[in-house]
Amino acid sequence: MVTRKISGGKTKKTRKTRLFEKPGIKRTVIIGERKKKLLRTRGGNFKPVLLKCNIANVVDLKTKKTVKAEIKNVLEVPSNRFLARKNVLVKGAIIETSLGKARITNRPSQEACVNAVLI
């Protein structure tokens, strides 16, 4: 962005943006055969990133048990209705599983798994 001085001249940037300041690529997790990727972060560490997933860790709050269930469809996303049409898995999305309806409780694109709670 170019800013101007009172005289009308342009001000120059003092330095360029560094690599760690640049925004990352927005990744969307869709329904499909499980596919993940490792990204290198600062300090030589690695961060797992989920790209596709069809299995969720579903918790039944009545029995307090966790079961792996197959994801069939994304029914609704409260934050953005267009994400439900694309079958994108995000936090807060209501999904249809083999056990019934469930709500995603984590951020799948950053944690490399899908955790959900039965509704």
Contact 74, 84 (CB under 8 A): yes
Domain boundaries, the chain: 23-118
The Cα–Cα gap between 35 and 30 comes to 10
Closest residue by Cα to residue 70 from 107, 35, 36, 34? 34
Give me 26's structure tokens.
Answer: 């927005």
> Yes or no: is domain 23-118 CATH 3.40.50.720?
no
Closest residue by Cα to residue 88 from 45, 50, 61, 43? 50
Q: What is the pTM of this model?
A: 0.80
User: Average pLDDT of each block of 10 consecutive residues along the chain (119 residues)?
Assistant: 88 88 88 93 90 95 94 95 94 95 95 94
Distances (CA, A) of 61 to 3, 34, 64, 87: 55, 26, 5, 25
- pLDDT for the residue 1: 67
- pLDDT for the residue 25: 83
